[in-house]
Amino acid sequence: QSALTQPASVSGSPGQSIIISCTGTSRDVGGYDYVSWYQQHPGKVPKLMIYEVNNRPSGVSNRFSGSKSGNTASLTISGLQAEDEADYYCSSFTSVSTVVFGGGTRLTVL
Amino acid sequence: QVQLQQWGAGRLKPSETLSLTCSVFGESFSGYYWSWIRQPPGKGLEWIAEINHIGNNNYNPSLKTRASMSVDTSKNQFSLKLSSMTAADTAVYYCGRGGTWPTKIDYWGQGILVTVSS
């Protein structure tokens, strides 16, 4: 299975909004509303931020939101804060009952 | 509060078999799939495999021939074996709750760095 495609890096200034894309195929992202997003700070364990495309776990800021159109899912972070600087990974359920991750996106807060 | 605690050998020689175990605390083992995920140094996450309480497995096709998972429900533990290890398998290995069901990994183990070197 091929990794989902994410931009290697994105950046934004404090207070701005950024969008991270995650592109797959009809056999994963496009075929199911089972996309998750994870945040990982350096040396830390990944943290679930969004599940099932647009659902936030308890305790995750409402500045984080998810969406999907066709084979591409997106993570939007509004009101950027310095603490948002991290790596972000998307993942999806696949048609062969596996999980596939994206390559990861490094978010830099300028 | 759900907690996952993992352990296993942190250093292996090429061709050896990796063996990791993850214990689950504070949650019933049934009703979920339990996954292994790895992350090579400086690289992204890769899902390895998952198992549920009755031993149903799903594997990453690229690792299927080398990976094997088992479960011990009496101890709330699940394990991973990965054979024929090479330097390319050097990574931090995580266990987690979820995978294909629920379709999110919401609790993670602390991670263990496994280094393969002669």
Is A51's CB within 8 Å of B106's CB? yes
Query: Is the pLDDT assigned to residue A1 strictly greater than 90?
Result: no
Question: Which amino acid makes up residue A28?
Answer: D
Is B103's CB within 8 Å of A48's CB? no
Q: For chain A, what is the mean pLDDT?
A: 97
**Which member of A57, A97, A101 has the closest CB to residue B100?**
A97
| For range A46-74, the mean pLDDT | 98
Low-confidence ranges of chain B (pLDDT < 50): none
Give the pLDDT confidence score for residue B28 in this predicted structure.
84
Q: How many CB pairs under 8 A join A and B?
A: 64
In terms of DSSP bridges, do strands B3-8 and B57-59 run parallel, antiparallel, or are they unpaired?
A: unpaired
Query: Is the pLDDT assigned to residue A67 strictly greater than 90?
Result: yes
Give the pLDDT confidence score for residue B51 in this predicted structure.
96
Query: Which chain A positions have a beta carbon within 8 Å of B60's beta carbon?
Result: 1, 98
Nearest by Cα to A91 from B48, B68, B69: B48
The shortest C-alpha distance from B30 to chain A (Å) reads 19
Q: Is A3 buried (19+), middle (13-18) or exposed (0-12) by CB count in 10 A?
A: middle
Give the pLDDT confidence score for residue B29 in this predicted structure.
83
A8–chain B Cβ distance below 8 A for any pair: no
Residues of chain A above pLDDT 90, percent = 98
CA distance B35 to B15: 23
**Which member of B45, B104, B109 has the closest CB to residue A51?**
B104
| For range A53-62, the mean pLDDT | 97
A3–chain B Cβ distance below 8 A for any pair: yes
Question: Which amino acid makes up residue B66?
Answer: R
Reading phi first (left if > 0) and then psi (alpha if -120 to 50, else beta), residue B111 is in: left
